[in-house]
């Protein structure tokens, strides 16, 4: 889990997603993030949320869950394992 406790949503959310995917051995040379989600729309959604919002999508065989304060990447197949990292 990547924690963005300062509440600011900016380009760092994309870097955090990429870092978390790489930490889970997702080959980003063959999996481009923008093939799975529009980064501008994701940032806009997180910035404009007045309550708790959660966005989930799948990259390769990994589930990515993003909130205004966290990024979680877990294996989508088999037993669920979640990579946790603090900022």
Question: What's the pLDDT tens digit per position in 2-30?
Answer: 544 444 445 678 888 988 888 888 888 87
pLDDT exceeding 70 applies to what percent of the chain? 72
The answer to whether the beta carbons of residues 71 and 16 sit under 8 Å apart is: yes
pLDDT exceeding 90 applies to what percent of the chain? 9
- Mean pLDDT value of segment 46-70: 87
Contacts of 83 (CB under 8 A, 6+ apart): 1, 20, 23, 24, 72, 73, 74
């Amino acid at each position: 889990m990547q924690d963005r406790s300062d509440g600011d949503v900016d380009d760092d959310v994309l870097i955090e997603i990429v870092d978390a995917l790489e930490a889970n051995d997702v080959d980003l040379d063959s999996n481009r993030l923008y093939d799975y989600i529009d980064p501008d729309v994701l940032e806009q959604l997180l910035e404009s949320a007045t309550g708790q919002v959660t966005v989930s999508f799948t990259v390769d065989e990994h589930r990515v869950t993003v909130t205004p304060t966290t990024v979680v990447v877990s294996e989508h197949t088999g037993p669920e394992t979640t990579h946790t990292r603090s900022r």
